[in-house]
Chain A
Amino acid sequence: MLKQITVFIENKPGRLAEVTGCLADENVNLHALAIADTTDFGILRMIVSNPDKAYRVLKENNFMAQTTDVVAVAVGHNPGSLHKVLRELEALNISIEYMYAFTSRHKDYDAIVILRLTNQDGAVYKLKGNDIPVLGQELLDSLNKT
Chain B
Amino acid sequence: MLRTTLAGLRAHMGRLATTVLAIVLGVAFTTGTLVFTDTLERSFATQVMGSMERVDVIAFPPEPDAGTDPEAGPPSFGTAALEEVRGLSEVTAATGVVFGTAPLLDSDGRTLGAFPTAGTSVGGDVARYEAAEGRLPEGDDEVALSTLSAEQGGFTVGDTVSVLDPGGEPHDFTVTGLIEFGLEQSVSYRGAVAFAFGTAERMVEGDGFAEIHVRAAEGVPVERAVTAVAGVLDEAADVRSGQEHGESLASAAGADAAIMGTALLLFAAVSVFVSALVIHNTFAILVAQRQREMALLRCVGALRGQVFRGMLLEALVVGLAASALGTAVGVGLGLGGFALGSEYVVSGTDTPIEPVVEAVPVLAGLLVGTLVTLVSALVPALRATRVAPLDALRSSAVADGLEKGVGRARVAVGAALFLASGAVLALTLSTEAGTTGMALVVASAMVCFVGVLAVSPLLVRGTVRVLGWPLRRLGAVGSLAVDNTLRSPKRAATAMIALTVGATLITGYSVISSSMRVTMDAQLAEQFPVDYSISPQLSPDGEEAPIPDSVAAELESSPLISSVFTSRSASDENQVFVETYPGAELGTDIGNGEVEGDIGDVGAGSAAVGAGTATELGVGLGDRVELESAEGRVSLTVVAIVPGSGGLSGVTTSVTDFESLFPEVGAGYLYVRAQDGTDLKELTEVVDDAVADHPTLQVASAAEIRSEFDRVLETMFLVISGMLGLAILIAVFGISNTMALSVLERRRESALLRALGLSKARLRRMLGAEAVLVSLVGAILGVALGTLFGWAAGRSAFDGMLFALPAVEIAGFLAAAVVAGLLAALMPARRAARTSITGALASE
A, B from the same assembly: no
